[in-house]
Chains A and B, each alone.
Chain A
Amino acid sequence: MSAGGAAGDAARWRVFVDPTRCIGSGICAGAAPTHFLLVDGLSRPLAERIAPADQVLDAAESCPMEAIIVSDVEGSRIAPEP
C-alpha cells in the first residue's frame, strides 16, 4: 500500500464538494466527521480519494444541496442517486 493511497485498490472512490453549491449546513461533517471538515464555513473532503465508505454515501444522500459528488475512479457517479 502506498503512503498516498491514491493509486491503491483501496482508494477507489473520489469525493468532490462543489463549493458553489455548499451552504455549510454542517450535515456531512456531523454525519461523516472522518471524511468532511468545515473550513471557513464550507465543507471540504479530508481526502479526495477514499476507500468505499457508507458514511460518505450517507453524507452525499443527505446533503440538501446535493453538493457532494461521490464517483468511482472511472468517473461514474455513485452518489447522490438521481
Chain B
Amino acid sequence: MTETAQPTIPQPYPFSDPHRLDVDPRYARLRQEQPLTRIRMPFGEPAWLATRHADVRTVLGDPRFSRAASVGRDEPRNSPRQADTGILQMDPPEHTRLRRLVAKAFTARRVEELRPRTRSVAEELVGAMVAAGPPADLVAHLATPLPIRVICDLLGVPVTDQDRFHTWSEAIVSTTSLPPEVAESYVEQLLGYMAGLIAQRRTAPTDDLIGAMVRARDEHADRLSEEEVARLAAGLLAAGHETTVTQIPNMVYVLLTEPDGWDRLRADPALVPTAVEELMRFIPLGATAAFPRYALEDVELGGELVRAGEPVVVSIHSANRDERVFADPDRLDLAREANPHVGFGHGVHHCVGAQLARMELQVVLETLLRRTPGLRLAVPESELTWKSGLLVRGLTAMPVSW
C-alpha cells in the first residue's frame, strides 16, 4: 500500500457464474497477490472483498465492522431490492437481545436430544427411497423432507403446511430466481403465516420454540416487538431448511465425485463427524457474497486501509481454501484434523443452526452408509442440473442408485 496509489477499478463480482461446486481459480491468485480487492456487485456501491482466512474472520468477528451501519446505505447486493434482513442487519447489543431468545434451542446439548428422532425420520425416508428405487431422486426423497421435518418439529410449524412455506421461503435465498415484487410478496406471506402461528399460541400455549418466543415476548414486551418475533421465526424456518436441503445433495455429490470420498467413508464410517466438517469446508455453498460489513473506523486489513464507512464483503470459500491455514486445501480429506473452516460463518452472526445442521448431516451420512452402501449417481455427472439465481448453489435433482 502506498499513499499515492491510484484507486483500482472495481472488478464485477461474482467473478464468474457459479459452475457446479467449482471454486474460481482467481481466489487463489487474489489471496496471494491482492488479499483485499475492490469489487462491484450487481447492485449497490463498490466494496472491498476479503479472500484470506484471517481477514475474513476479522471482518466477520471484529466489532469495528458493522452490519447495522449498512442500514440507509446503498448496500452492495445481488438483487435490485434492498431487503430488511432483520437480525442479520443488527449489531450487539440489539443483535444479542434477539439472538439470546433462540440460541438456547440450538445448543449442542439441546440438539443431541433431537438426534434419535432425526435418526428415525432419516430411516423412514431412506427406507421409502429404497422401496421406490433405484433409481430415485435423493433431493425429493431425503434431502428436502428431512430438514423440513426437523425444523418444523423444533419450531412448532405444522409440516402439513410445507407446500406453502416452502414456496415462500425461496424468497429468503433468492437473488434473481424470483421477480422482486414476487419475492417481496412471498416474504410478506411468510410473515403473515408466522403471525398466525404466534396468535394461536396466545390462546393455546405450546412447548415448541415459537411458543417459547411468544412467552419471552409477553414477559419482555418492552424489549421485543411482535414483528421481530414473526421475522425471527420466519428466518429460522427459511434458513433452517433452504440451506440444509441444499447441502445434503452437495455433500453426497462431492463424496461420489471426489477421490477418497464415498469409498473411504464406507470403509471407515467412524470418520463421519470429521467428514462433515471437511465437507462444510470443501463445498462452496454460497453462490455469491452477501451481508457486507461496514467499517466503523479506519482499519488496516490485508495490506490495505479500509476507511471508516466503507463496506467489505468476504468470500467464505476462499477463506476455506486458504493454504495459510489448510494443508493441501483443494484436496478433500475426510480425516482432516484441525479444521477451523468458516462454513458456518464467524462472529456474532455465526449460524445459529450450526449444531443442528451438523447433527442432520451426520445422521444423513450414517443412514445412507448403512442402508445404501453401494450409493452412486444414476446418470452421468454432466447430466445433473444445478439451481441458479439463489444465494446458495445446489442440485435441482439427484438421481442415485445403490
- Note whether A and B form a binding pair: yes
Contacts from A to B (Cβ < 8 Å) = 24-27, 29-33, 38, 41, 55, 58, 61-66, 80-81
Q: Please tell me if the beta carbons of B100 and A62 are within 8 angstroms of each other in the complex.
A: yes
B325 to A, closest residue via Cβ: A41
User: What distance in Å separates the Cβ of B355 from its nearest Cβ neighbour in chain A?
Assistant: 5
Q: Indicate whether B99 reaches chain A with its CB closer than 8 angstroms.
A: yes
Bound complex: CA of A62 vs CA of B96, how far in Å? 8
Bound complex: CA of A29 vs CA of B63, how far in Å? 9
How many residues belonging to B are interface residues under a CB distance threshold of 8 Å? 26
Chain B neighbourhood of A31, CB < 8 A: 92-93, 95-96, 348
B60 to A, closest residue via Cβ: A26
Q: Please tell me if the beta carbons of B348 and A64 are within 8 angstroms of each other in the complex.
A: no
Q: Please tell me if the beta carbons of B61 and A38 are within 8 angstroms of each other in the complex.
A: yes
Q: Indicate whether B350 reaches chain A with its CB closer than 8 angstroms.
A: yes
Bound complex: CA of A24 vs CA of B54, how far in Å? 13
A58 partner, pick from B63, B100, B344, beta carbons under 8 A: B100
Q: Please tell me if the beta carbons of B354 and A33 are within 8 angstroms of each other in the complex.
A: no
A25 partner, pick from B95, B96, B104, B354, beta carbons under 8 A: B354
Q: Please tell me if the beta carbons of A30 and B107 are within 8 angstroms of each other in the complex.
A: no
- A66-B92 contact given A26-B61, A26-B347, A61-B100, CB 8 Å threshold: no
Q: Which of B292-349 contact A (CB under 8 A)?
A: 340, 344, 346-348
User: What distance in Å separates the Cβ of B62 from its nearest Cβ neighbour in chain A?
Assistant: 8
A67 to B, closest residue via Cβ: B108
User: What distance in Å separates the Cβ of A34 from its nearest Cβ neighbour in chain B?
Assistant: 10
Q: Indicate whether B109 reaches chain A with its CB closer than 8 angstroms.
A: yes
Bound complex: CA of A77 vs CA of B96, how far in Å? 21
Q: Please tell me if the beta carbons of A33 and B63 are within 8 angstroms of each other in the complex.
A: yes
User: What distance in Å separates the Cβ of B109 from its nearest Cβ neighbour in chain A?
Assistant: 6
- A27-B348 contact given A62-B100, A66-B108, CB 8 Å threshold: yes
Q: Indicate whether B291 reaches chain A with its CB closer than 8 angstroms.
A: no
A64 partner, pick from B61, B92, B108, beta carbons under 8 A: B108
Which secondary structure dominates chain B's binding surface? helix
Q: Please tell me if the beta carbons of B355 and A25 are within 8 angstroms of each other in the complex.
A: no
Q: Please tell me if the beta carbons of A25 and B93 are within 8 angstroms of each other in the complex.
A: no
- A29-B103 contact given A64-B354, A65-B108, A66-B109, CB 8 Å threshold: no
User: What distance in Å separates the Cβ of A61 from its nearest Cβ neighbour in chain B?
Assistant: 5
Q: Please tell me if the beta carbons of A30 and B348 are within 8 angstroms of each other in the complex.
A: yes
A32 to B, closest residue via Cβ: B92
User: What distance in Å separates the Cβ of A80 from its nearest Cβ neighbour in chain B?
Assistant: 8
Give 6 closest A-B pairs by Cβ, nearest first. Answer: A30-B348, A26-B61, A30-B347, A25-B350, A26-B347, A58-B96
Bound complex: CA of A30 vs CA of B293, how far in Å? 13
Chain A neighbourhood of B193, CB < 8 A: none
B346 partner, pick from A25, A58, A65, beta carbons under 8 A: A25
Q: Please tell me if the beta carbons of A62 and B355 are within 8 angstroms of each other in the complex.
A: no
Q: Please tell me if the beta carbons of A62 and B99 are within 8 angstroms of each other in the complex.
A: yes
Chain B neighbourhood of A38, CB < 8 A: 57, 61
Chain B neighbourhood of A64, CB < 8 A: 103, 106-108, 350, 352, 354-355
B277 to A, closest residue via Cβ: A23
- A29-B108 contact given A58-B100, A62-B100, CB 8 Å threshold: no
Bound complex: CA of A76 vs CA of B100, how far in Å? 22
Q: Please tell me if the beta carbons of B107 and A66 are within 8 angstroms of each other in the complex.
A: yes
User: What distance in Å separates the Cβ of B161 from its nearest Cβ neighbour in chain A?
Assistant: 28
Bound complex: CA of A64 vs CA of B92, how far in Å? 17
Q: Please tell me if the beta carbons of B347 and A27 are within 8 angstroms of each other in the complex.
A: yes
User: What distance in Å separates the Cβ of B291 from its nearest Cβ neighbour in chain A?
Assistant: 14
Q: Please tell me if the beta carbons of B92 and A26 are within 8 angstroms of each other in the complex.
A: no
What 0/1 pattern do residues 95 to 117 of B give for CB contact below 8 A with A?
11001100110111100000000
- Interface core residue of B57, B96, B103 (most chain A CB under 10 Å): B96
- A26-B96 contact given A64-B106, A65-B107, A65-B108, CB 8 Å threshold: no
Chain B neighbourhood of A66, CB < 8 A: 107-109
B97 to A, closest residue via Cβ: A58
B61 to A, closest residue via Cβ: A26
